[in-house]
A and B are shown apart, each in its own frame.
Chain A
């Protein structure tokens, strides 16, 4: 089948191209796609020129849901709503998680993302969604799985003293990580560190929210999550090292284009464990969907993140959705995919 793929061919320029896909595996019609900061870095052309030259043209978007239209085995019924998994492993590994294998491919990172008429997926690259889920929230399930993945790793790596957890970052990732942590470990006290009082006010479930310029000197957390990235990553990591108790874990989630200097002296003195988490795999998607099913309040809180919902039926609509997203300081832009 000749499949229309809406590729970014140069910054701020989408064009339709066609690829041939086979009627095999599972074919999914995307219905709701959510724009991520990584997509924006390609769209606005802020990735290094050599990266853009190597990766474009490419269809963007790695956060999305759709409906099955074809399954050669009949395991999935047409119409079944599913979340699509962007990470695509090419080999099994019993030790290393699929999202860290260097051989894995990732949608919208050198491999076409979900801005297509139809997406052909391996049958382990989708997870069924509950029938009554808010589709606008489900659209950014992938972002939520990244937090679930990082929290699951924290649970395996961090020592057992977990009275106070600090989360740096008051953006989308900080909000989702805090909310998921609160859902998975409701007894733990959360301290949120951010720069915007209005945004911090949304973290109503946290023990305390603190502006990064006003952190009390004696405040100490047992473990910390960094959800800042970008230019703010360095300051956030410095503060985390200052305010974390000895032998704490620092979970790094924020993506930065910069090389970030780290105060290794204090890392050594305090015996800290720093570990990075990136992306997610099938297990994280299954766990996230299971949390959606069991915890309605979680989905309700995630609705706060819905920023703009834009119907997209043409290339000019795609541009409009990305431009709207640029103007938005907080919240997710969801494209209702009518193309």
Chain B
């Protein structure tokens, strides 16, 4: 079974004066999170969609799904965890409770604030996660990446040709991800910024899926304006 897992845990602290978390802001005619849920929902290989959001936004999210006529029986809204990986583990626990957690279960985890995801990216995530157990969506870095250990001076400038920018989805064999996560020490868990790193620090391979420049993450007010600019008039 393939689950689309939409991570909507952000509280919008970087989004200027916006009162709502950024995933609930509107672009085009709908809230960002609805665009993202619709993309996962219509994809033929995604069998069920889970939306994980802060506890205080669970009811609101369910109301939004109803408002935009999305079927709540195929889309579950759950409470997220305190960290990104804690949230993903909540999703896996839910899948286990449903009796769907088997070696074949794939989760396609995706930021709720990346509504420009394309069909191909989802398809390739499912394909690579099935084939290899883990994959991450990336684009080749265009800016030079600079490393600084103290935030004051450069400690290293890695070769740009080997650098990629991570996007989402990140997709995994759910059982494998769960086992690897449970084998981590608390110290190791603290340094994790995303789920792909769980595989990486355990020496497991994570395959690359080609992302798209347009698969932007709406983080800052500037990104909202970019997102609005990406939506063009329908030639009907």
Contact = CB atoms under 8 A, between A and B. Distances in A.
Nearest to A72: B69
Interface in A113-139: 117-118
Contact of B120 (A7, A19, A58, A339): A339
Contact of B44 (A4, A29, A112): A29
Contacts of A16: 212, 214
A1 B44 contact: no
Contacts of A314: 210
Interface stretch (B84-92, B104-112, B227-235): B227-235
B144 interface: no
Interface of B is mostly: loop
A147 interface: no
Contact of A4 (B30, B69, B214, B235): B214
B115 interface: yes
Contact of A17 (B29, B44, B210, B232): B232
Residues of B in contact with A, size category? 20 to 34
Given A17-B230, A23-B70, A111-B235, A29 B119 contact: yes
Residues of A in contact with B, size category? 20 to 34
A57 B235 CA distance: 9
B29 A20 contact: yes
B123 A338 contact: yes
Contact of A18 (B41, B43, B210, B231): B231
B42 A19 contact: no
B116 interface: yes
B55 to A, nearest CB: 27
A117 B35 CA distance: 14
A16 B236 CA distance: 17
Contacts of B232: 5, 17-19, 57
Contacts of A118: 42, 119
A20 B31 CA distance: 12
Given A17-B230, A23-B70, A2 B235 contact: no
A263 B119 CA distance: 54
Interface in A290-339: 313-314, 338-339
Nearest to A17: B232
Contacts of A27: 42
A117 B119 contact: yes
A79 B43 CA distance: 11
A67 B44 contact: yes
Contacts of B231: 2, 18-20
Interface of A: 1-2, 4-5, 7, 16-21, 23, 27, 29, 57-59, 67, 69-70, 78-79, 105, 110-112, 117-118, 313-314, 338-339
30 contacts: A2-B39, A2-B116, A2-B230, A7-B235, A17-B230, A17-B232, A18-B116, A18-B230, A18-B231, A18-B232, A19-B234, A19-B235, A20-B28, A20-B234, A23-B42, A23-B68, A29-B44, A57-B235, A67-B44, A69-B42, A70-B42, A110-B235, A111-B235, A111-B236, A112-B234, A112-B235, A118-B42, A118-B119, A339-B119, A339-B120
